[in-house]
A and B are shown apart, each in its own frame.
Chain A
């Protein structure tokens, strides 16, 4: 009863103000986005759903084929290879990247002199254009004249040499994962900011209990920055499954499809084979995979992520 009358009062209060000008003003300011949302987001999403059930080459009108694209995908060996590669990459690149970032962020958190310079140096690769990074690493990984092979053979006294980082199926994926460590600057900066939000009082309390530095990292620092880590993991999953530019430029998916990533095979279908319907079907499967992985992370986070409020 009480709620009902409150609602009615609110309605009456609102009706005193004429609706049209408010709506006009609001929509007026928001109009660029209304156009953008419809033209560049909602329409493409809807069209993508429809295309995924069609045979569409962009040159002629789409032709309805029902679930054919999806059933073909299920039996497409290359599709499964590209999915496996993307997941494999995510499985290693994300945890490794997180550990590297965390160690560096903890070091930067010491606030020694010149910490700003170090932070800048760690961050620099993150603003480097992907094409330039790819070319630099092509040169570093070069099996004949590459500086990486040179250093490896130096430190192992010639035992390890002439590794075909990008031309040998045994190393190509590892090479790309290794290279991804170079671009963790964003994560470092975000983690560092989170570390600097951990209040000193908690560490002091831990000190009273005689905690070692590792116990403090484990039981104070990590729980308190866990929301940030969690956010990072989700963003990394979404990003890792869409990796495109670096393998496209460095390996074109080779050798023997060992670095053919999901987004590359999708791109090839759309723009090399002109199978746009098939590509859209792949894109929706990607969306579902991301959705599934994200909701698994949400579930896991309930147990492991600590929210202060």
Chain B
């Protein structure tokens, strides 16, 4: 690894105006990016007549906190939240456990057909979801799972090509000597996996868990396909349902409900930023050829 450079060299040191300029541009840019969020929060606290004021009022006057109580009572918000937590929580357990086991097999155990199967696994990533959408629906329908949370949770327990790939890369970097010593001591394969590889892979497992959480929390198409009863709706689907029923009038309540939906993801993101960004930059090193 060499020292990183920049096409702008040491501009910051050479020119007195460089630092303020970069800050100004970054402040301007990030304000534009942050604005929609702030606007959502501001609208969520306004009395209804202020949402339709033109020119718009930047800040609510007064802050109407009651909107949040109203929004939560207006839709089965608690039920939606519980459903979403079930989908993401049980999904995380499945995704971490299954992908770790499978990736271990691909990275550490050598068995005939392994590399062929791994190639096939990578190839399936090329298949766009719409191709399997209809047959998957039929499978879940045959199983009697339509209208339940099962199609959103159970598949996580059977691995996913991307996560297998991610964890395999990580396991491959673990030095072999510890595992070899453990084998000589008569440790079982599962023991080696569980006491040597899993603890070392914690950062990568955290990435899998985090990505799965964000994905499950935000997923819209899955719930739209499989959930038929309002009592099983997740937050994403519930919010869209509410919007399509009452959109266009009660923007303050809609924004309050949206804020509550966004909040947990943002909070998790802030708490786990390092893990998260590590996961994203992992993508950078993926060679598509």
Contact = CB atoms under 8 A, between A and B. Distances in A.
Contacts of B128: 238, 241-242, 283, 286-287, 290
Given A118-B30, A136-B36, A189 B280 contact: yes
Interface in A85-144: 104, 106-110, 112, 115, 118-125, 127-140, 144
Contacts of B138: 47, 58, 276
Given A124-B266, A130-B236, A228-B284, A140 B2 contact: no
Interface string A248-285: 01000000000000010011001100001001101110
Contacts of A227: 287
Band of interface residues on A: 35 or more
B34 interface: yes
Interface stretch (A2-10, A23-31, A68-76, A169-177): A23-31
B121 A37 contact: yes
Interface string B232-271: 0001110110011001000100110010011001100110
A203 interface: yes
B235 A129 contact: yes
A195 B7 CA distance: 10
A226 to B, nearest CB: 12
Given A287-B127, A287-B131, A29 B193 contact: yes
B133 interface: yes
A160 interface: no
Given A22-B111, A125-B33, A145-B54, A189 B130 contact: no
Interface in B79-124: 97-98, 101-102, 104-106, 109-114, 117, 120-121, 124
B132 A44 contact: yes
A145 B48 CA distance: 12
Contact of A33 (B22, B164, B265, B276): B164
B127 A120 contact: no
A201 interface: yes
B124 A263 contact: no
Band of interface residues on B: 35 or more
B144 to A, nearest CB: 14
Interface stretch (B62-70, B174-182, B199-207, B217-225): B217-225
A217 interface: yes
A79 interface: no
A217 B9 CA distance: 11
A152 interface: no
A227 B287 CA distance: 8
Contact of A193 (B155, B244, B270, B281): B281
Contact of A128 (B112, B262, B276): B262
Contacts of A135: 239, 243, 247, 254-255, 258
B22 to A, nearest CB: 5
A213 to B, nearest CB: 5
A86 B184 CA distance: 58
Nearest to B244: A249
B150 interface: no
Given A140-B39, A221-B7, A286 B130 contact: yes
Highest count of chain A CB atoms <10 Å: which of B36, B39, B110, B135? B135
A43 B262 contact: no
A124 B102 contact: no
Q: Lowest 5 A-B CB distances belong to which pairs?
A: A36-B158, A26-B111, A200-B5, A29-B105, A44-B135
19 contacts: A23-B113, A29-B102, A45-B135, A47-B138, A58-B141, A124-B37, A129-B261, A131-B218, A132-B40, A137-B36, A138-B247, A140-B36, A140-B39, A144-B54, A145-B53, A200-B4, A231-B283, A276-B134, A286-B131
Interface of B: 2-9, 11-12, 19, 22-23, 25-26, 29-30, 33-34, 36-37, 39-40, 43, 51-56, 97-98, 101-102, 104-106, 109-114, 117, 120-121, 124, 126-139, 141, 155, 157-161, 164, 189, 193, 214, 217-218, 220-221, 225, 235-237, 239-240, 243-244, 247, 251, 254-255, 258, 261-262, 265-266, 269-270, 273, 276-277, 280-281, 283-284, 286-289
Interface of A: 19, 22-23, 25-33, 35-37, 39-45, 47-48, 51, 56, 58, 104, 106-110, 112, 115, 118-125, 127-140, 144-145, 147, 150, 182, 186, 189-190, 193-204, 207, 213, 216-217, 220-221, 227-228, 230-231, 234, 238, 241-242, 244-245, 249, 263, 266-267, 270-271, 276, 279-280, 282-284, 286-287, 290-291, 298
